[in-house]
Amino acid sequence: MNLRVGQGFDIHPFSDDPGRELVLGGVRVQGRGLKGHSDGDVVCHAVADALLGASGLGDIGAMFPDTDPLWSGADSLGLLTRVVETITPGWQPVNVDCTVIAETPRLAEHRDAMQKTLAAVVGAPVSVKAKRGEGLGALGREEGIACLAVALIEGK
């Protein structure tokens, strides 16, 4: 078996724009939106980085640079779809595991929707867990949201 593992990480501060929507794992969630060149979906970004890292194809910043106006306001689920299309000629995702770190909002009620949405794009099971910063650091002070992801892929 030809297996490879990749890890991804993303973090964004909350936006000051009251009209900015919060999108996590491709799901709209009630709460303050995140700053970012795209829609700021830290879950999709971390998953994309994990898949790109596992396949040896760099990272999301190289593929979709924030200096390119083409990606301004981009739907991160669409970016993740492009990442999966890029890696799948040679690699098949086996599974992805994500940990979202956020004091707010509470994500338990959105977990299933995120997992289903992400799995449909990735083409493999995706698990999403939520943890709190327990009041420590910028995440604990409710300044933003972060996500860690690990992906396992198999050569075709």
Angle at 98 between CA 49 and CA 15, to 5 degrees: 75
Predicted model pTM: 0.97
139-148 confidence digits (pLDDT tens): 999 999 999 9
Q: 83 with 48: CB under 8 angstroms?
A: yes
CATH of the domain at 119: 3.30.1330.50
Please give the average per-residue pLDDT across 126-155, as a whole number. Answer: 97
Q: pLDDT tens digit string along 3-23? A: 999 999 999 999 999 999 999
Which among 118, 32, 129, 109 has a CA at the least distance from the CA of 77?
118
Domain range spanning residue 136?
Answer: 3-155
Looking at the chain, the whole-number percentage of residues with pLDDT higher than 70 is 100
Count up the domains in the chain and report the number: 1
